[in-house]
Amino acid sequence: MQRFLFRRAVQTVIILAGLSVLMFTLLVVTPGDPVELLAASDPNIQPEDIKGLREYYGLDDPLYLRYKKWLTATVFHGDLGYSRTYGQPVRKLIGDRLKNTVTLLTAAFGIALVLGVIVGIYSALHQYSLSDYTITIFSFAGLAMPVFWQAIVFILLFAVWAPWAQIPALAWLKFPAGGMMTPGVAGGAATIFDRLHHLILPTLVLGTHGMASWARYTRSSMLEVVRQDYVRTARAKGNPERVVVNKHAMRNALIPLITLVALSIPGILNGAVLTETVFSWPGMGLLLFQAVLGHDHAVAMAALLFFALLTISFNILADIAYAIVDPRIRYD
Amino acid sequence: MTHRGGSWFVVCVTVIVSLGLLPALPSPASAQQQRDTVVIGMAQEPDCLISSFCSMAAGSAVLNSMFASMVEYNDQWKLVPRRVEKIPTVKDGDWQLLPNKRMKLTYKIRPGFTWHDGKPVTAIDTSWTYLMLRNPRSPTISRFILRKIDNMLVPDPNNPYTLVVQWNELYPFANTGHTTLPKHVMEQAYQQDPSKLKTHKQNTAPVGNGPYKIIEWVPGSHITLEAYDKFPGGAAKIKRQVWRFILDSTVLQANQIAGQVDATEINNFSIDQMVEIEKRNPQIAAHYTPSLTWEHIDLNLDNEWLKDKRVRQALVYAINRDEMAAKLFLGKQPVAHTWLPTLHEGHNAKVKKYAYDPARAKALLAEAGFKPGTDGILRDAAGKRVELTIMTTAGNAQREQVEVIMKEQLKDVGIDLKIDNRPASVFFGQITNRRQFPHLAMYAWVMSPISSGLLWHSGQIPTPANNFEGQNIPGWRNAENDKLIDEALTELDAAKRIQLLQREQEIWVDELPSIPLFFRLSLTTAKKALKGVKPAGLSGTYITWNSEEWFWSQQQ
């Protein structure tokens, strides 16, 4: 296992290095550098000013030199640079946003996984029942809905329309139409409730796709397992159904799900970019979106590499988890 | 299982209802509903809060609340003094004309204004700011005006409220005031390294001198301002101002309809969205304010066909702009016949008008040597099929609709219009700046009350030789127009300057280097209960230009 981990670590470094070259090149050669966009918006800006700004931001340096400066600062000095847009250290910007993204991802992932597995198991154990068909329909609907569209529909339904909110006891079921907090809310319990209240809609949107796909996978995996001989034996031994399902069937049914869940994380990250943009959730996804559009290269590079590292890390975790739960899998 | 499922259902309903009954949990909007707060939604987040270092309009909108200019434009587009006792004029002698086309202006700064940390705002701050911005190592975006100034002085150290500005050339708008930043806050960092000023705290938590001071900026979420109690004339009536960044205009619209924001500015709304807001929530007022944004289509005058004035005029005759305005903008957005909007002092209402006349368009094209082919599309003298390409910003629904309508209307006069759009960053970064569009490019210029037509000067054509610097995107050359622009740039007499501008427009309308489309409206919204809101429609003068006068009425 140690040799496996070492090999994967070396591969990760090589992949990240290659990705950094590719991403940096794409960002720089993408048409529309920030000074050109500035000049396009202001008829009074003069050639001398444009020249000065290009020198200030180092935009006229050759590509390899710009990459070298970035690489030296990042790798050897740990300096991610300054955001050209916000004038703040990239490290601080990312740190602030990362917390928000982790909150959203954890909530979405947790709810999607728990509900997806429960619903999938229930569906498998009640195959061809009305509830199974209902769950199947909703699962396919969840898989088919684009994140962006779903987010806007949820906002219209639960934040703008929300007729049930006319009933005082259900007023809290009218959710905020975006943002992470209500500015000016008093501290303590009110702040916690406010943050949770803002978290609900983006969590549901981001978690829907995962919940739907994991429910389907869990259902088919469970259906395969419950037909196995050892499950029949467990029942024949007189075990309660609860023990048969939890101890014998579920554990084996969840093995393939571990890999799928780990491999789905990058997909959730992609969804986070769209979800955060629509809900104005100040996370890494929104930061990346703004940085790429605004040609803020320092921020874009840091965010892109972060997402790449996360994707690679979860792939490695999936492999390790697989080896842990399945004794037949061994790495060297 | 059914019995157990039913139990779970009862438990869930009980929990949901109980949560709603808990008294300690406030409704999320309660903070806004308090009448000491106004929440303004924006579809942009500022990049920084020092206007001379920033490029985004969102920053200027927030700064309208935080800084009081020396002089400002009000909602009638009139220049009024704010932090000065009067605006200098030649007549009053505080604007002196000197030999060799030099000038000297004297401002009397009103005492009583203080920075948000309590220090007085004086002419010394303005004088220092000029020097700081002028320094080539400072990250100043434009030094267009600064270069016209030789010096800013405070002649009497015992009187720090008199500012003298020495100009090295004639400039008709020299009395519009100057940027003032707190010297005591920024000087030390400036002395250490001017190039690092973009990372100074003044960018993110500025010490201002206006009716509101900053409390917090949560990146990606909001900026909170609070009324400054020592503002001359008294603290603002509404204690708190919160700017929320909601980047998607559909979501911002939803927030306004749901009442979760009280007003919007820089909202990217279309007119349809504004109408929908008013319809869905009658408590919201939609403001359609004339602005200086000029929507137009630049023509590439290097093209063999578009070189001919008759072809350019034919294009304008062939397009029914009145119909577009009625269909796409519900009749609210006026058709433009020239490049200066109606409220601009130099607007020429008497220029030639090109009413929709496809017969006239065909006649002009025939005169220019085009003949229809068997497919109804014209051929030039060499037999080439007349195909024109129009480019604009991809994803802009209204511009795309304009293109579709134009395609049909130009087909009627024998021109095949191809549509080829690009993302905004590509369109502005390359297509327009480097004149890489083959025929037509549609976009908007934001003019200002002091626009004098410089962008139409032949010296402003971007070429490889001048590193593509300049804004004369069509590549128009006209010697008389150049002369008029040169004169207007230094003409101090307003009446004469207006005459020059009007003659410029006469020439322009005859030559048509661009197709004038519409003067865009500035679209803002605000709750009807929020009183005192007077949108100005000017770039630089946003909805909050007078926010210290806003108040909540008793009725909701």
- 3-state SS string over B299-351? ECCCCCCCCCHHHHHHHHHHCCHHHHHHHHHCCCCCECCCCCCCCCCCCCCCC
Domain of B514, in residue numbers:
291-520
Q: How far apart are CA B120 and CA A272, in angstroms?
A: 47
- Contact assignment for B26 to A87 by CB distance below 8 Å: no
Q: Which residues of B touch A56 (CB under 8 A)?
A: 139, 195
Place of tokens 């020092």: B50
Distances (CA, A) of A219 to A122, A206, A311, A318, B512: 8, 21, 26, 20, 68
Q: How far apart are CA A35 and CA B254, in angstroms?
A: 34
> The domain spanning residue B182 has which CATH number?
3.90.76.10
Q: How confident is the model at residue B20 (pLDDT cuts 50, 70, 90)?
A: low
Q: How far apart are CA B502 and CA B498, in angstroms?
A: 6
Q: What is the mean pLDDT of residues A251-272?
A: 78
Q: How confident is the model at residue B24 (pLDDT cuts 50, 70, 90)?
A: very low
Predicted confidence at residue B26, as pLDDT, reads: 45
Q: How far apart are CA A295 and CA A36, in angstroms?
A: 11
Distance from CA of A138 to the nearest CA of B (A): 19
Domains held by chain B: number: 3
pLDDT per position as a tens digit, B382-396: 999 999 999 999 888
Q: How confident is the model at residue B25 (pLDDT cuts 50, 70, 90)?
A: very low
Contact A283/B at CB under 8 A: yes
For the beta carbon of residue A145, count every other beta carbon within 10 angstroms: 16
Q: How confident is the model at residue A185 (pLDDT cuts 50, 70, 90)?
A: confident
Q: What is the mean pLDDT of residues B395-399?
A: 87
CA nearest to B121, candidates B67, B72, B81: B67
In chain A, whose CA is at the least distance from the CA of B452? A44
Q: Is pLDDT at A174 greater than 80 in this prediction? A: yes
Q: What is the mean pLDDT of residues A59-76?
A: 87
CB-CB contact of A104 with A233 (8 Å): no
Alpha carbon B13 to chain centroid distance? 51
Q: Which residues of B touch A156 (CB under 8 A)?
A: 254
Q: How confident is the model at residue A40 (pLDDT cuts 50, 70, 90)?
A: low
Amino acid at B302: D
Angle at which helix A34-41 crosses helix A47-56, to 10 degrees, equals 150
Distance from CA of B222 to the nearest CA of A (A): 8
The verdict on B355 and B474 lying in the same domain is yes
The verdict on B308 and B256 lying in the same domain is no
- Contact assignment for B25 to A172 by CB distance below 8 Å: yes
Report B:203-222 residues touching A (Cβ under 8 A): 203-204, 218-222
Could you say which DSSP state residue B385 is in?
Answer: B
From B30, B144, B245, residue closest to A46, measured CB to CB: B144
Q: Is pLDDT at B441 greater than 90 in this prediction? A: yes
Place of tokens 């869990």: A218
Distance from CA of B288 to the nearest CA of A (A): 22
Q: Which of A60, A97, A170, A172 to mutate to test the interface with B (most CBs of B within 10 A)?
A: A172
Q: Which of A26, A44, A115 to mutate to test the interface with B (most CBs of B within 10 A)?
A: A44
Contact B445/A at CB under 8 A: yes
The verdict on B16 and B46 lying in the same domain is yes
Locate B513 and state its tokens.
Answer: 């280097």
Q: Which of B52, B222, B273 to mutate to test the interface with A (most CBs of A within 10 A)?
A: B222
CATH code reported for the domain at A93-325 = 1.10.3720.10
Amino acid at B263: A
CB-CB contact of B468 with B433 (8 Å): yes
- Contact assignment for B240 to A184 by CB distance below 8 Å: yes
Contact B539/A at CB under 8 A: no
**Mean pLDDT (chain B, rounded):** 90
Q: How confident is the model at residue A312 (pLDDT cuts 50, 70, 90)?
A: confident
Continuous H helices in B330-455: 358-367, 397-412, 424-426
Q: How far apart are CA B39 and CA B255, in angstroms?
A: 11
The verdict on B180 and B209 lying in the same domain is no
Locate B179 and state its tokens.
Answer: 């940027």
Report A:134-153 residues touching B (Cβ under 8 A): 152
Q: Is pLDDT at B202 greater than 90 in this prediction? A: yes
Q: How far apart are CA A126 and CA A296, in angstroms?
A: 53
Q: How far apart are CA B144 and CA B166, in angstroms?
A: 15
CA nearest to B236, candidates B556, B552, B548, B3: B548
- Contact assignment for A47 to B466 by CB distance below 8 Å: yes
Locate B340 and state its tokens.
Answer: 């200066």
Element (H, E) at B556: none
Contact A59/B at CB under 8 A: no
Could you tell me which residues come within 8 angstroms of residue B230 by beta carbon, excluding any fewer than 6 positions away? B114, B118
Q: Which residues of B touch A46 (CB under 8 A)?
A: 142-144, 147, 469
Locate A139 and state its tokens.
Answer: 């699962």
CB-CB contact of B460 with B433 (8 Å): no
Secondary structure (H, E, C), chain A:
CHHHHHHHHHHHHHHHHHHHHHHHHHHHHCCCCHHHHHHHHCCCCCHHHHHHHHHHCCCCCCHHHHHHHHHHHHHHHCCCCECCCCCCEHHHHHHHHHHHHHHHHHHHHHHHHHHHHHHHHHHHHCCCCHHHHHHHHHHHHHHHCCHHHHHHHHHHHHHHHCHHHHCHHHHHHCCCCCCCCCCCCCCCHHHHHHHHHHHHHHHHHHHHHHHHHHHHHHHHHHHHHHCCHHHHHHHHCCCCHHHHHHHHHHHHHCHHHHHHHHHHHHHHHHHHHHHHHHHCCCCHHHHHHHHHHCCCHHHHHHHHHHHHHHHHHHHHHHHHHHHHHCCCCCCC
Q: How far apart are CA B467 and CA A47, in angstroms?
A: 8
Amino acid at B385: R
Q: Which residues of B touch A290 (CB under 8 A)?
A: 45, 247
Predicted confidence at residue B9, as pLDDT, reads: 58
Contact B253/A at CB under 8 A: no
The verdict on B257 and B321 lying in the same domain is no
- Contact assignment for A41 to B446 by CB distance below 8 Å: yes
> The domain spanning residue B388 has which CATH number?
3.10.105.10
Selected residue with higher pLDDT from B444 and B1: B444
Q: Is pLDDT at B407 greater than 50 in this prediction? A: yes
From A32, A82, A180, residue closest to B429, measured CB to CB: A32
The verdict on B43 and B143 lying in the same domain is no
Predicted confidence at residue B3, as pLDDT, reads: 46
Distance from CA of A215 to the nearest CA of B (A): 19
Predicted confidence at residue B10, as pLDDT, reads: 60
- Return the percentage of chain B with pLDDT > 90, whole number: 70
Predicted confidence at residue B23, as pLDDT, reads: 45
Produce one character per residue of B191-219: b if its CB has 16 or more CB atoms within 10 Å, e if not: eeebeebbbbebbbebbbbbbbbbeebbb
Report A:175-204 residues touching B (Cβ under 8 A): 175-186, 189-190, 193-194, 197-198
Number of CB pairs, chain A paired with chain B, less than 8 A apart? 216
Could you tell me which residues come within 8 angstroms of residue A174 by beta carbon, excluding any fewer than 6 positions away? A158, A159, A162, A164, A165
Q: Is pLDDT at B411 greater than 90 in this prediction? A: yes
Amino acid at B364: L
The verdict on B350 and B416 lying in the same domain is yes
pLDDT per position as a tens digit, B97-153: 999 999 999 999 999 999 999 999 999 999 999 999 999 899 888 888 999 999 999
Could you tell me which residues come within 8 angstroms of residue A38 by beta carbon, excluding any fewer than 6 positions away? A45, A50, A53, B55, B141
Beta-bridge partners for B536 = none
Beta-bridge partners for B294 = B445, B519
pLDDT per position as a tens digit, B28-41: 444 445 689 999 99
- Contact assignment for B258 to A159 by CB distance below 8 Å: yes
Place of tokens 């006469």: B506
CA nearest to B293, candidates B396, B445, B157: B445
Q: Which of A187-201, A258-272, B78-92 has the highest mean pLDDT?
A: B78-92
Distance from CA of B182 to the nearest CA of A (A): 19
Contact A48/B at CB under 8 A: yes
Predicted confidence at residue A296, as pLDDT, reads: 87
Predicted confidence at residue B31, as pLDDT, reads: 45
Beta-bridge partners for B167 = B103, B149
The least confident of A17-26, A82-91, A104-113, B22-31 is B22-31
Predicted confidence at residue B149, as pLDDT, reads: 96
CB-CB contact of B201 with B186 (8 Å): no
Could you say which DSSP state residue B258 is in?
Answer: T
CB-CB contact of B474 with B299 (8 Å): yes
Locate A35 and state its tokens.
Answer: 């000074």
Q: How confident is the model at residue B556 (pLDDT cuts 50, 70, 90)?
A: very low
From B20, B48, B424, residue closest to A87, measured CB to CB: B48
Q: Which of A318-327, B47-56, B510-519 has the highest mean pLDDT?
A: B510-519
Q: Which residues of A touch B200 (CB under 8 A)?
A: 87
The verdict on B370 and B509 lying in the same domain is yes
Q: Is pLDDT at B21 greater than 70 in this prediction? A: no
The verdict on B80 and B29 lying in the same domain is no
- Contact assignment for A43 to B17 by CB distance below 8 Å: no
- Contact assignment for A40 to B257 by CB distance below 8 Å: no
The verdict on B260 and B379 lying in the same domain is no
Q: How far apart are CA B194 and CA B288, in angstroms?
A: 42
Residue B193 lies inside a defined structural domain of this protein: no
> The domain spanning residue B213 has which CATH number?
3.40.190.10
pLDDT per position as a tens digit, B460-487: 999 888 778 788 999 999 999 999 999 9
Q: How confident is the model at residue A286 (pLDDT cuts 50, 70, 90)?
A: confident
Locate B282 and state its tokens.
Answer: 């009658």
Predicted confidence at residue B8, as pLDDT, reads: 61
CA–CA–CA angle A101, A104, A105 (5° rounding) = 80
Q: Is pLDDT at B12 greater than 80 in this prediction? A: no
CA nearest to A16, candidates A75, A99, A102: A75
Residue B195 lies inside a defined structural domain of this protein: no
Q: Is the ipTM of this complex over 0.90?
A: no
**Mean pLDDT (chain A, rounded):** 84
The verdict on B322 and B397 lying in the same domain is yes
pLDDT per position as a tens digit, B524-538: 999 999 999 999 988
Q: Is pLDDT at A76 greater than 90 in this prediction? A: no
Residue ranges of chain A that CATH labels 1.10.3720.10: 93-325
Q: Is pLDDT at B13 greater than 70 in this prediction? A: no
Q: Which residues of B touch A184 (CB under 8 A)?
A: 31-32, 34, 37, 224, 240, 242
pLDDT per position as a tens digit, B207-251: 999 999 999 998 889 999 999 999 998 999 999 999 999 988 889
Beta-bridge partners for B295 = B444, B518
Beta-bridge partners for B442 = B297
From B134, B159, B187, give the residue that closes a domain.
B187
CB-CB contact of B456 with B481 (8 Å): yes
Report A:70-99 residues touching B (Cβ under 8 A): 82, 85-89, 93, 96-97
From B160, B187, B214, give the residue that closes a domain.
B187
Q: What is the mean pLDDT of residues B278-291?
A: 93
Q: Which residues of B touch A172 (CB under 8 A)?
A: 19-20, 25, 27
Report B:1-40 residues touching A (Cβ under 8 A): 16-17, 19-21, 24-32, 34, 37, 39
Residue B196 lies inside a defined structural domain of this protein: no
Distances (CA, A) of B459 to A10, B245, B485: 57, 40, 11
Q: Which residues of A touch B461 (CB under 8 A)?
A: none
